């Protein structure tokens, strides 16, 4: 048996396995073989992690630390991420099979969130309220919520953690991180940097294990104040229901079936590249995947042909190689799901322009690959146009005019992202107004930033991550009334 790397949790500043000594194997999607193991936590471990976070919230150095000192810790963490980005990215690739080129850039970019929210930490201000009661001095304070649980998925574990962790810590909360059972290693490695940056013990804790075993107990835990979740919509709904039972705050970042709309007046070659990056980057395993390509009939044949021939040149291979353009699917169940959707699309009568199965190459046989796949002549009522696949399958849907484009774009339960390709400025603004989604990209796709809010309309989620207001998701407002008058006039009458 090949040597396995063992990663342990961090609870109250101490590295440890699960209470009952069980482990979960973590497999490399390119080799199909386990390469590491992480603790298989159970219900006892849930209590241990939440208790540590709760203790750190109510006593010790964290609650009495100034906001400026907190900000400094976050900025130092950002610096350490810059230093260690290459190492963390390699761990991430071994776990999730995404391209090293993309992961290295992504991890380096994560530092910006910690620098930015570190800067915001001491700009959280309340206000003085000029109330109608002249003898009262009334002011507001904005305070942290308490223990925040960050539940992250397997597609971009560290980046999606960062979107939660940076604002939550800047606001003064303490944390329990529950990473995906498929990709916990990079999060556990990242915990070394939390310690090195100087965060007090118990401020950030981790809890690895299966969501189905410990997820509900964690969300329902009475000492948890908020859950920040990214994942599938079915799991998101059950997290929301569990949080509701305990009246907890939530942010949910869920799935998408995002429309990427090409008008006949667009720069077609740019639009083709936008369509490719919208669906084949990260092997389509992103919540913002532009999985529905809406193309105006006048350029429909041309766009279908160009997208298919461009995608046909994609180089599948080892995600660690700089020449690889498409890597494997992260998990075996997800690969099965993607392949099943190919059958669904065929059964519904969609026309397969490219791919449609697994690559027939001996060097890829151990990895969890599927071919970049394109279906044309899809209609928006087909399952392939309605359900999130989360893989490299593009559905191309024709439309006649702006009205029909808007109708098809919005005819979805989701509303996470969208793209519009046009050279008409009026059309660009009008589409941006009319598309019901949290992000609209015009003549580009997949741009995100620590400065810009991100989140979903409709079933794509609740709340926003990144940007100034993301910190509000981790704060609550207290109103303080100071009576400056002498005496209490009439205790039986509300003033």
Catalytic residue set:
253, 287
Which residues contact ligand TXE by CB under 6 A? 151-155, 178-181, 211-212, 215-216, 219, 230-232, 235, 238-239, 253-255, 287, 334, 337, 388, 390
Q: Which H or E run contains 149?
A: strand 147-151
Q: How far is the CB of 172 from ligand TXE (least distance, A)?
A: 24
Q: How far is the CB of 61 from ligand TXE (least distance, A)?
A: 30
Report d(CA 417, CA 72) in Å as an integer.
34
Report d(CA 284, CA 302) in Å as an integer.
23
Residue 7 φ/ψ, nearest 5 degrees: -115, 135
Residue carrying the six token digits 């090949």: 2
DSSP-assigned letters across all residues of 423-492: S-HHHHHHHHHH--SS--EES--S---TTS-B--SGGGEES-BSSGGGGGGGEEEEEEEEE-SSS-S-TT
Report d(CA 479, CA 188) in Å as an integer.
39
Look at residues 353, 263, 357, 371 and name the one whose alpha carbon lies nearest to residue 309: 353
Report d(CA 378, CA 352) in Å as an integer.
10
For residue 343 the two structure tokens come to 């059958």
247 burial type by CB count under 10 A (0-12 exposed, 13-18 middle, 19+ buried): exposed
Q: Which H or E run contains 190?
A: helix 185-197
Q: How far is the CB of 159 from ligand TXE (least distance, A)?
A: 10
- Cβ proximity to ligand TXE: between 154 and 421 the closer is 154
- Cβ proximity to ligand TXE: between 71 and 391 the closer is 391
Look at residues 147, 166, 156, 3 and name the one whose alpha carbon lies nearest to residue 70: 166
Q: How far is the CB of 210 from ligand TXE (least distance, A)?
A: 6
Q: How far is the CB of 235 from ligand TXE (least distance, A)?
A: 3
Q: How far is the CB of 82 from ligand TXE (least distance, A)?
A: 25
Q: How far is the CB of 459 from ligand TXE (least distance, A)?
A: 11
Q: How far is the CB of 146 from ligand TXE (least distance, A)?
A: 18
Look at residues 119, 126, 118 and name the one whose alpha carbon lies nearest to residue 142: 126
Q: How far is CA 342 from CA 142, 232, 354, 355, 414, in A?
A: 50, 20, 11, 9, 21
Tell me how far apart the terminal alpha carbons of the chain are, to the nearest angstrom.
Answer: 75
Look at residues 313, 297, 290, 305 and name the one whose alpha carbon lies nearest to residue 392: 290
For residue 242 the two structure tokens come to 């569990």
Whether the Cβ atoms of residue 185 and residue 39 lie closer than 8 Å to each other: no
């Amino acid at each position: 048996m090949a040597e396995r790397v063992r990663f342990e949790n961090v609870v109250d500043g101490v590295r440890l396995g699960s209470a009952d000594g069980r482990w979960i194997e973590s497999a490399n999607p390119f080799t199909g073989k386990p390469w590491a193991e992480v603790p298989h936590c159970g219900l006892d471990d849930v209590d241990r992690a939440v208790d540590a976070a709760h203790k750190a919230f109510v006593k010790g150095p964290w609650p009495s630390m100034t906001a400026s000192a907190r900000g400094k810790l976050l900025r130092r963490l950002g610096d350490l991420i810059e230093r260690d980005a290459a190492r963390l990215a390699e761990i991430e690739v071994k776990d999730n099979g995404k391209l090293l080129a993309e992961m290295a850039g992504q991890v380096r970019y994560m530092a910006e969130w910690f620098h930015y929210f570190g800067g915001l930490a001491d700009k959280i201000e309340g206000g003085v309220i000029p109330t109608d009661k002249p003898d009262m001095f009334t002011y507001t304070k904005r305070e942290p919520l308490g223990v925040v649980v960050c539940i992250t998925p397997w597609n971009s574990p560290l980046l999606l953690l960062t979107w939660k962790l940076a604002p939550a810590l800047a606001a003064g909360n303490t944390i329990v991180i529950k990473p995906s059972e498929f990709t916990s290693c990079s999060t556990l490695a990242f915990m070394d940097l939390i310690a090195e940056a100087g965060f007090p013990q118990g401020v950030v804790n981790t809890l690895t294990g299966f969501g189905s075993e410990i997820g509900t107990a964690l969300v329902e835990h009475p000492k948890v104040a908020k859950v920040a979740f990214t994942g599938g919509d079915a799991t998101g709904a059950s997290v929301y229901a569990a949080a509701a039972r305990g009246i907890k705050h939530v942010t949910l970042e869920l799935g998408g079936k995002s429309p990427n709309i090409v008008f006949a007046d667009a720069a077609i070659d740019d639009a083709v590249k936008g369509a490719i990056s919208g669906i084949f980057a990260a092997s389509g395993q992103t919540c913002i995947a532009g999985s529905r390509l809406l193309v105006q009939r006048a350029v429909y044949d041309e766009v279908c042909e160009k997208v298919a021939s461009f995608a046909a040149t994609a180089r599948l291979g080892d995600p660690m190689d700089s020449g690889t353009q498409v890597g494997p699917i992260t998990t075996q169940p997800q690969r099965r799901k993607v392949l099943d959707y190919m059958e669904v699309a065929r059964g519904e009568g969609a026309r397969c322009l490219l791919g449609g199965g697994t690559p027939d190459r001996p060097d890829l046989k151990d990895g969890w690959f599927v071919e970049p796949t394109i279906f044309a002549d899809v209609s928006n009522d087909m399952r392939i146009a309605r359900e999130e696949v989360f893989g490299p399958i593009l559905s191309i849907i024709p439309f006649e005019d702006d009205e029909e484009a808007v109708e098809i774009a919005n005819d979805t339960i989701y509303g996470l992202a969208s793209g519009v390709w046009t050279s008409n400025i009026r059309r660009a603004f009008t589409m941006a107004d009319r598309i019901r989604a949290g992000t609209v990209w015009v003549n580009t796709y997949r741009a995100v930033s620590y400065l810009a809010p991100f989140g979903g309309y409709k079933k794509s989620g609740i709340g926003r991550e990144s940007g100034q207001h993301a910190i509000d998701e981790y704060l609550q407002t207290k109103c303080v009334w100071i009576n400056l008058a002498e005496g209490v006039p009439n205790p039986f009458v509300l003033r």
